[in-house]
Structure 1
Amino acid sequence: MWFSIDFSSHVPVYKQIVEKIKMKIAKGELKQGDFLPSVRKLAEDIGVNFNTVSKAYKELSEQGIIEVQRGEGYTVKVENLEDFNNEILIEIKNALKKALNAGISPNEIKKIFEEVVGRDFNDTRS
């Protein structure tokens, strides 16, 4: 399986697909020119309707991240991974600002960060 979807998440499935593909690009698992699975194949692999995958691919295409190669499928279009990673960092900053503005404490944010990253940074500070 290419990746899994959290069906209990409040995040729409197509958005999860978009984010999973973006993360594969950010990690270097997908590079410019690489082919993505067909809409039907990915839908079958992750257990969703093909229209959901199609919607995700359309969004990625509109963002300039992937493109359609007529008769061949979708390929990764992103040329500059640094720019792409900078976009992700901006998204993280905006999410942090939104969380703070919503009244979520810095300690709660730190706890979530450590949970996502998978380690406690208290032990690594100098």
Structure 2
Amino acid sequence: MFIELDFESDIPIYMQLVHAIIEGIATRELKPGDELPPVRTLAADLGVNMLTVNKAYQHLKQLGFIQIHRKKGAVINSDEMRQADDEFYERLLTSLRPLAMESICRRLTKNQFLTLCSKIFDEIELKGGKC
């Protein structure tokens, strides 16, 4: 698994890591049952603090993408991924709303905004996406 972090980004490092792992799952680069690197190893490989990796893993666990075992460590959830529920729709709405508002302020049309969303969705599906 290849993870690129942008240390100059406004997005916190742990969230960049979360996004990279979710993308790996969505594109099938990471499959159910795959073990993620130990916290210490991944932190050293990426040049980040172990607490950053641990925070990312805990967030992924909370979202249901991974399980954390005492012996195996972090493992991609082998249970069927939960379908979108009210909680997910609320998080999605909360995430998309500011982007839609900024897009309107920057004079993007609804069609331009939806085209960008569709392009991202299509790129991920093309890479094999389907959890």
TM-score (norm 1): 0.71
Q: Secondary structure at the match of 1:36?
A: coil
Q: Secondary structure at the match of 2:74?
A: strand
- For 1:30 and 1:89, locate their aligned partners in 2 and report how far apart those are by CA, in whole Å: 24
Aligned-residue sequence identity (percent) comes to 33
Counterpart position of 2:36: 36
Q: Supply the RMSD in Å over aligned alpha carbons.
A: 3.2
Structure 2: runs of 5+ lacking an equivalent:
124-131
Is residue 66 of structure 2 the alignment partner of residue 66 of structure 1?
yes
Q: List per-residue Cα deviations over 1:9-51 (Å, max 9, x = no partner).
A: 0000000000000000000011111100000111011110111
- Give the counterpart letter for 1:4 in structure 2: E
Counterpart position of 2:106: 104
- For 2:62 and 2:113, locate their aligned partners in 1 and report how far apart those are by CA, in whole Å: 34
When residues 73 and 111 of structure 1 are mapped into structure 2, their CA distance, relative to the original with a 3 A threshold, is closer
When residues 90 and 3 of structure 1 are mapped into structure 2, their CA distance, relative to the original with a 3 A threshold, is farther
Counterpart position of 2:14: 14
Paired residues of 2:67 and 2:76 also in contact (CA < 8 A) = yes
Decide which moves more: 101-110 or 60-69. 101-110
Structure 1 residue runs of 4 or more that deviate by more than 2 Å after TM superposition: 78-84, 87-100, 107-115
When residues 2 and 75 of structure 1 are mapped into structure 2, their CA distance, relative to the original with a 3 A threshold, is same
Which structure is higher in RCO with an 8 Å CA cutoff and minimum separation 6?
Answer: 2
What does 1:82-101 correspond to in 2, within 5 Å? 83=83, 95-101=95-101
How many pairs are equivalent? 116
When residues 111 and 62 of structure 1 are mapped into structure 2, their CA distance, relative to the original with a 3 A threshold, is closer
- Give the counterpart letter for 2:5 in structure 1: I
- For 1:12 and 1:63, locate their aligned partners in 2 and report how far apart those are by CA, in whole Å: 17
